[in-house]
Structures are given as structure tokens and as C-alpha cells.
Structure 1
Amino acid sequence: MKIGIDARNLTTSMTGIGRYVLEMSRHLALRGHQLYLYFPQPPHEDVRDLPPAQLRVARFPGGVKRMIWAQTELPRRAAQDGLDVFWGPAHRLPSFLDRRIARVVTIHDLVWKDMAATMRWQTRMGDRWLMKPGIAVADAVVAVSKATANVLKAQFPGCSEKLSVVYPGLTAIQGVVPPKPLLSFGIDRSYILFVGTLEPRKNLLRLLQAYASLPETIRQELLLVLAGGQGWRLGGLREHIAGLHLESSVRLTGYVSDADLAQLYSQARFLAMPSLYEGFGFPIIEANSTGIPVLTSNRSSMPEVAGEAGILVDPDDVQSIRGGLEGLATNMALYERLAEKAKSNASRFDWMESARQLEQIFARAIAKRSGWRG
């Protein structure tokens, strides 16, 4: 197949969705398909090892210009390339693609509907206004979890017949340079790890409150390490840590390289990810792949992703989070039971299988579009 891909998520530093776009594209190429990657501006310097593809790089930097590109330059170039199918891997499709091109969109989450207050207003309005027309023009819609699919069916009942669930795969995180010593991050003992952008949806304030309420003996034994770049509306995180008197037991690493992230996972006691909402939650399976269990939330996609390798808590209840932290820190029978399931849980998620399933959806979309033309 000649597959066109909206690659705008690869023009910023690597995120979960960016990794999804990169890995799914790479594995579609490995399955023998001819790829065309469309960029509104050059790929970000963080993005390495692009798959074999024709690159179509425009000069539309910034949010507003990118929206113009998506409805003008992008469909024009797609028509010139004679695509069989165009894939919008993150909530968007051009409204006016050549009618001969099948079109498929992937939806990762509906944060704009369920957790709007936790988003930047620009992102919220973009998803709110552009997701619906993208779904409407799509020949097929892909959700990355059953939880996301269920919310989609409730919000857009008309998409049910063209909706499929395809889980993402697991990326083996590894760097091109040796990792920094853990001591360079101030990590001098065992630790609980959080991974993700420091933003409201990740529920860091309640995680910190729960950690602060643990017995001092546990906090002396286990640091809490927060690994991730600064998001928004959490500018006072250090002040919050100070207010809870946790300066001696919490470490903020900032954004870390893949090599450092791989080491942080491999040396952690367990992952703590009590998010308010996740469309999928890559850190869960990344942590599981190193053999460690997770503490995560009992809502949205997190229970289906954590499987039998995690303990579920109520993310709105500090005491529930505290109980989960204490259980994984002190109950060795519980810890070992969950850790034993970790690697097998992570192995459920495979990029080649994900690409194979997406390929089948593309084929059905092409057949459907051909039928309309006929």
C-alpha cells in the first residue's frame, strides 16, 4: 500500500503519541508498505531513525500555521502522491482529501471531554473542534484502548460501525549514549518512580500528599523520583514539595534521555502512576518490561493496560494512593506476586502485531472507498 501519514507529532520533542507515530510507521514500513510522511516543519532533533519513507516537509511553523497546512498543503501533496490510504495518527484528518484516498484516524483519548480542566486551552479547543469532523470523514476509526473506544461510542454514536481497537506496542527504551550516574540526579537509595510530563492530569499533587503521609521509615528507605519535563500549571511544584517537608526525599530529574529513562526504570522499586485519565499509559508497560510492578488508577484505560501486574487505586482519594504505596513498599508477598506478572503483561503489547492489525483496517478502508467510487 501507499500510505500517507500526518507526522506533525514528530516536529516536537518526543512524547507518548510521538513515539506511537514513529513506531507504528516504522513497523508498517517493515511490513513492506510505501510510506509518505507529511511534516508542517522539519522533524524535531529528538526524532531519530525515521522509517524508510518519502518525506514531505513544508514550512508552516507554529500552531495556527500548522492548522492551515493540514487543510491546504497537506491534502494537495497527498493527492499528488497518489496514496491508497491516508492515516491521521492523532485525532486529525484533512477535511478535503482527494475522494479516491481512503482515510483512517486514530483516537488516543477524549481528555477534552472528560478532563478538560487539565489541558492547555489551545489543545482542548483543537481536539474539541477538530476531532468530530475527523471522525466524520474517516472510513475507519481506531482507538488505542477499549476504554477510549467506549467513550468514543458514547460521544459519537455514529462511529460505532467503523470503530476498532488496536493497542500500541512496547518500545524497548535505550539510548545512544551511556546513562548518567543515578547520583547525578541525587538518587542515593531505592526509589519509587513516576514518569510523565509534570501536568495536572498526572495527579502529582495527590501523589505527593500520599507519599508525605507514609511512615517516615518508608520515606527514609524509598525516595520518590519524578522524571519528566515541566508541563503547565505545576510551576509551583517545588513549593508544594517544600510545603509538605519532602525536600530530602523527592527528586525532580527534569526531562531525561532514553538512556537515563531506561536506567531509571530498571533500578526503580516500582512505578507510581495514579493519573486522573490516560488514553493508554505507556509508562505502565515500559515499567513492566523491566520486571517491576505498577501502582496506577482504577479508571479509563489503566486497568486494562496494567492487567495483573499492577495495584489499582482511586486517584481522587489520597488515602487510597497512600495505601497502594505502602502495600507495594512493605508487603513483599504482594510485591513479588505483581512483579512476577510484569514481563508477561508487557509482552501482550507488540508493535508488529499492532501494525498488522492497522494494515487490515487500512485494507478494509481502501475496499470501502473503492466501493463508493464504483
Structure 2
Amino acid sequence: MKIGVDARNLVTSMTGIGRYVLEMSRHLALLGHQVHLYLPEAPYGNLKELSGTKLRISRFPGGIRRMIWAQTELPRLAAKDKLDVFWGPAHRLPFVLDRRIARVITIHDLVWRDMPATMQWQTWLADRWLMKPGVSVADEIVTDSTATATNLKDQFPRCAHKVNVIFPGLTAIGGTEFSTDISRLGIDRPYILFVGTLEPRKNLLRLLQAYASLPESTRQQYLLVLAGGHGWRLGDLKKHIASLQIEPQVRLTGYVSDDDLAMLYSNARLLAMPSLYEGFGFPLIEANARGIPTLTSNTSSMPEVAGNAGVLVDPDDVRSIRDGLQSLATDDLLHARLAENARPNSARFSWLDSASALQSIFERAVVERRDSL
């Protein structure tokens, strides 16, 4: 098939959705399809991993121009390239496409509906107004989890018959060889690890409160390491840590390289990810791939992703988070059982399997589009 992809998520630094677009596109190309990636401006960094695809780069830099590109230049190029199917991998489709082109959209989450206070207003507004027309014009819809599929059917019941669940895959983080000198990150003892952008949806303030309420002996034994770039609306995180009197036990690494992230995963006692909401939650399976069990929330997609390799907690309850941390930190039998399940759990997620399933959805959409003409 000749597949067109809205690849605008590759013009900024790599995020979870950017990784999804990159890996799915790469594996679709490996399956033998002609993959055309449409970008409103030059991509961020070197896309050497996408050597089997064709890049169509326009000159529409910035947020406003990008929205204009999506409804003008993008559909024009898609028609010119005579695509079989066009894929919007992140909540968007052009309002108007050549009627002969099948169209598929991926919906990762409904944060705009379920957790609007955790979003920046521009992103909230875009999802609020552009998701509905996207799912309405799509021939088929893909979600990352059953939880998102259920929410989507509830929000857009007329589209329920088009909804399919395809789990994303697992991307290996870092190489097989990496530095083991973890002391250069200020880490001098075992630790509990958090990975992610430091922003409201990640529930960091409650995680810090839960850690602060652990017995002193546990905090002396295990540091709390927060790895990730600073996001927004958390205020001065260092002041909050100081107010909880846990400065000596908390390490803020900032953004880390993939090799350092692999090192952090490999040496952690556990990954703590008690998010308020996740469309999927890549750190859960990244940690599992290194044999590390997880603590995560009993909401949205996280139970599906954590499988039998994690402890589930109530993300709104500091005591529940604290009890989960204490159990995984001190109960060696529980920890060993979940650690044994970690790698098999991560093995459930394969980009090749995901791309093969998406290929089947594309084929069905093409047939449906042809039959409707």
C-alpha cells in the first residue's frame, strides 16, 4: 500500500507520541509498504531510523502555520501522491481529503475530557475541537488501550463500530553497553525511580508526599530519583521537596540520555508511576524490559500495561501510594515475584506486531472506502 502519515509530531523533541509515529512508520516500511511522511517543517534531529520512508517537508513553521498546513498543503500533497490510505497518528485528520483515499486515526487518550486541568490550554482546545471531526471522517479508529477505546465509544457512540485496540510496542532504551557509574548523578544508594516530564498529570506532588510519609528507615535505605525535564504548573518543585523535609533523599536528574535512562532503569528497586491518567505509559514496559517491577495507578490504561508485574494504587490517595511504595521497597518476596514477571510482561509489546495489526486496519479501511464510492 501507499500510506501517508501526518508526521507533525516529529518536528519537536521526541515524546511518547513522537516515538509511536516513528516506530510505527518504520515498521510499516519494513513490511514493504510505501510510507510518505508529511511534515509542516524540518524534523527535529536526524531521522536515520526512517531511511525506508519518503519525507515530504513543507515550510509552515510554528503552531498556527502548522494548523493551516494540516487543512491545506497536507491534503493537497496527499492527493498528488495518490495514497491508498492516510493515517492521522495523533488525534487529527484533515477535514477534507480526496474521497478516494481511505483514512484512519489513532486516539491515544481523552485527557481533554477526563483530566482537563492537567493540560495546557492550547492543547486542550485543539483536542476539544479537532478530535470529533477526526473520528467522524475516519473509516477506522485505533486506540492504544481498551480503557481509551471504552472512553472513546462513550464520548462518540456513533463511531463505536469503527474502534480497534492496538497496543504500541516496546523500544529498547540505550545500548547493551552503558556506563555503570551512577554516582555521577548523585546516587549513592538503592533508589525508587520516577521517569517522565515533571508536569501535573504525573501526580508528582502526591508521590513526594507519599515518599515523605514512609518510615525514616525506608527513606534512608532508598532514595527517590526523579528523571525527566521540567514541564509546567508544578511551581518550584525544589521548594516543595524542601517543605516536606526530604531534600537529602531526593535526586532531580533533569532530562537524561537514553544510555543514562537505561542505567537508571537497570539499577532501580522499582519504577513509581502513580499518574492521574495515561494513554499508555511507556516507562512501565521500559522498566519491565530491564527486569524492574512497577508501582502504578489503578486508572485508565495503566492496569492493562502493568499486567502482573506491578502494584496498583489509588493515585488520589497518598496513603495508598505510600503503602505501595513501602511494600515494594521492603517485601522481598513480593518484589521477587513481580520482578520475575517483568520481562515476560514487556515482551507482550512488539512494534512489528503493532504495525502488522495496523496494516490489517488499513487494508480494511481501503476496502470500505472503495465500496463506498
Q: 1: distance between equivalents of 2:51 and 2:352?
A: 14
Q: 1: distance between equivalents of 2:136 and 2:120?
A: 25
Q: Could you say which residue in structure 2 is the equivalent of 1:359?
A: 359
4+ long deviations beyond 6 Å: none
Q: CA deviation at 1:104?
A: 0.2
**Deviation per residue, 1:114-165 (Å, 9 max, x gap):** 0000000000000010000000010000010000000000000011111100
Q: Could you say which residue in structure 1 is the equivalent of 2:301?
A: 301
What TM-score, normalized by structure 1, do the two folds share?
0.98
**Deviation per residue, 1:306-360 (Å, 9 max, x gap):** 1100000000000000000000011111111111111111111111110010000
Q: Could you say which residue in structure 1 is the equivalent of 2:36?
A: 36
Q: Could you say which residue in structure 2 is the equivalent of 1:72?
A: 72
**Deviation per residue, 1:5-28 (Å, 9 max, x gap):** 011111111111111111111111
Percentage of matched positions with identical amino acids = 69
Cα RMSD of the aligned pairs, angstroms, is 1.3
Q: Could you say which residue in structure 1 is the equivalent of 2:337?
A: 337
Q: Could you say which residue in structure 2 is the equivalent of 1:127?
A: 127
**Matches for 1:41-190 after TM superposition, within 5 Å:** 41-45=41-45, 47-174=47-174, 178-179=178-179, 181-190=181-190
SS class of match (2:90): coil
Q: Check the 8 A contact 2:101/2:366 in 1, yes or no.
A: yes
Q: Which moved more, 1:172-181 or 1:54-63?
A: 172-181
Q: Could you say which residue in structure 1 is the equivalent of 2:314?
A: 314
Q: 1: distance between equivalents of 2:174 and 2:33?
A: 26
Gaps of 5+ in 2: none
SS class of match (2:247): coil
Q: Could you say which residue in structure 1 is the equivalent of 2:209?
A: 209
Q: Check the 8 A contact 1:25/1:51 in 2, yes or no.
A: no
SS class of match (2:275): coil
Q: 2: distance between equivalents of 1:166 and 1:112?
A: 21
Q: CA deviation at 1:50?
A: 2.1
What TM-score, normalized by structure 2, do the two folds share?
0.98
Q: 2: distance between equivalents of 1:217 and 1:283?
A: 27
SS class of match (1:248): helix
Q: Could you say which residue in structure 2 is the equivalent of 1:239?
A: 239
Q: 2: distance between equivalents of 1:251 and 1:47?
A: 32
Q: Check the 8 A contact 2:178/2:263 in 1, yes or no.
A: no
Q: Could you say which residue in structure 1 is the equivalent of 2:4?
A: 4
**Deviation per residue, 1:19-63 (Å, 9 max, x gap):** 111111111111000010000111102755224111100111111
Gaps of 5+ in 1: none
Q: CA deviation at 1:179?
A: 4.7
Amino acid at match of 1:64: I
